[in-house]
Chains A and B, each alone.
Chain A
């Protein structure tokens, strides 16, 4: 099977296999994989900025948290809100926030861009942490999960673990295919061109700022999608989901998986969440489990040093070898 066909069919096969997962009927693992899939959306959205547009944002949790708070604050307190309007509204808020902050942060580059994106995320963090708007540092509960009804019929019941799992899987797959499509288009090529050589793109006549702003808004919307789904899953939001730890975590997922590849972002999310589960398992690591972040930090450093292309790069290096041999064989 050649590379083109593989990259065309493999994602569908993977989605198909994941769709079977709830049939194992393990509550714990279904919830865990749901969380991983949500993080995969989050990581892909950041990879659009970091890996494809060359914008290293250290404030991506802003969108994750903003959409979560939007859901918590928009719906009625004890009744279920409808997903049909709370989801678009939450994403809309993220897009507006991205456009407004983007107008400012996109005038900076490099380390300044990192600092200014962080500053905006911290601003949101303190707004929710220090005011009564969102329940302060305790956060707010979302007592009833949003409904997804068509007239009188319940289309998807988000209270049911497996149905919610499938919904999240559908959103993850949709995000992946949407981003892949966009990145293969002229728009996507322009973004990568900007990442590689912004100066030359400008000299060729591309209005670089507009493309960056569009990418920033799209990444914000998808980051918001992940935040919305996470808020639904956990049933509460607190300022932690907006904190710089959260921004750092998703950045680590992208680095771990390999910047500039969508499947790398997905792999990074998986590896990170699963490593976190394993390393913080007291039955296995005892006292050390409490300090799982230390082990995680060392692992991330090793990846940065020895696997600059991340897990996706590791996968490619396994896949390339037999191909090269086959080509050489054909030549001989």
Chain B
């Protein structure tokens, strides 16, 4: 197995007396989707926040291509090639869909900080923004104001903005939340397509989607890793079956 592009070692986050994430070690590889599942409050979103720099860890390491990035700010981590989408839609509502993607794309071309040339004048930035919108299935919505999009489309824009920053590691926090079946299907196809040249960590509740894309599966309960392995291993694990007492159908693919 090739070296992990991103891995965590003993990652821990405490909020006062509460241990939200406890001693979590996992790794992400390019070409793989690593799905993290678990009940609400298991610490999945906190884990994402630790990896993206939205929160500093209390202990442990986050190693990106051999370099410890734990405690760096989210903008630094983003510029190093880690992109994330948010569980709660986090976009620029008053801007057009294109401007949302263009801003994301602009963050990858530092010379665009030139202050006297028009923002739309950079072909490379525009092309990247359009490509990201097309990939997320929003090409036809480019001129719409983001606030007027449907909930599902806003979720797609969330992903498009992430893609426009051309990350190598993608942290997707419940991208399917609130999407209709058709949109969900397209998102699953998109994730599959992105797998080839990205390392993806996916947090998801939709088990059909989980088993459709997962190469590895980690189950978290109360901030701890309960089980981690291939989907088959996890499905067969007695510990997981015990934890999801009576929830066996949840793990039927």
Contact = CB atoms under 8 A, between A and B. Distances in A.
A188 interface: yes
Interface string A168-191: 000000000000011011111110
Interface in A179-207: 181-182, 184-190, 193, 196-197, 199-207
A200 B119 contact: no
A205 B119 contact: no
B119 A184 contact: yes
A202 B102 CA distance: 15
Contact of B107 (A187, A197, A205): A205
A189 B99 CA distance: 9
A12 to B, nearest CB: 19
Interface stretch (B57-65, B86-94, B218-226): B86-94
B91 A197 contact: yes
Nearest to B52: A203
A189 B94 CA distance: 13
Given A197-B91, A205-B108, A185 B116 contact: yes
B117 to A, nearest CB: 6
A208 interface: yes
Interface string B58-94: 0000000000000001110011000010100011111
Nearest to B115: A187
A150 B92 CA distance: 50
B104 A196 contact: no
B103 interface: yes
Given A184-B118, A188-B119, A189-B119, A202 B73 contact: yes
B122 A202 contact: no
B90 to A, nearest CB: 5
Contacts of B73: 202
Nearest to A184: B118
A185 B90 contact: no
Contacts of A187: 113-115
Contacts of B75: 201-208
B228 interface: no
B90 A199 contact: yes
A184 B78 CA distance: 25
B165 interface: yes
Interface string B38-57: 00000000000000101000
Interface in A231-288: none
A181 B161 CA distance: 26
Contact of A185 (B74, B79, B117): B117
B8 to A, nearest CB: 19
A204 B115 contact: no
B119 A186 contact: yes
A202 B161 CA distance: 13
A230 B108 CA distance: 42
B116 A181 contact: yes
Chain B CB within 10 A, most for which of A189, A199, A200, A203: A203
Contacts of A184: 118-119
B106 interface: yes
Nearest to B117: A185
Interface string A125-156: 00000000000000000000000000000000
B142 interface: no
Given A196-B95, A199-B90, A204 B104 contact: yes
A196 B104 CA distance: 14
B112 interface: yes
A99 B92 CA distance: 28
B103 A185 contact: no
A177 to B, nearest CB: 11
Nearest to A211: B113
A203 B78 contact: yes
B92 A193 contact: yes
A186 B113 contact: yes
Contact of A205 (B78, B86, B112, B115): B78
A206 B113 CA distance: 11
Contacts of A205: 75, 78-79, 107-108, 165
Chain B CB within 10 A, most for which of A181, A186, A201: A186
16 contacts: A184-B119, A186-B113, A187-B114, A189-B103, A189-B106, A190-B103, A196-B92, A196-B93, A201-B103, A203-B84, A203-B86, A204-B107, A204-B161, A204-B165, A205-B75, A205-B107
Interface of B: 52, 54, 73-75, 78-79, 84, 86, 90-95, 99, 102-104, 106-108, 112-119, 122, 125, 161, 165
Interface of A: 181-182, 184-190, 193, 196-197, 199-208
Those 9 A-B pairs whose CB atoms lie nearest each other, nearest first: A205-B78, A186-B112, A205-B107, A205-B79, A187-B115, A189-B119, A186-B119, A204-B107, A202-B75
Given A190-B103, A204-B161, 16 more contacts: A182-B116, A186-B106, A189-B103, A190-B113, A193-B92, A193-B103, A200-B90, A200-B91, A201-B75, A201-B103, A202-B74, A202-B78, A203-B52, A204-B165, A205-B75, A205-B79
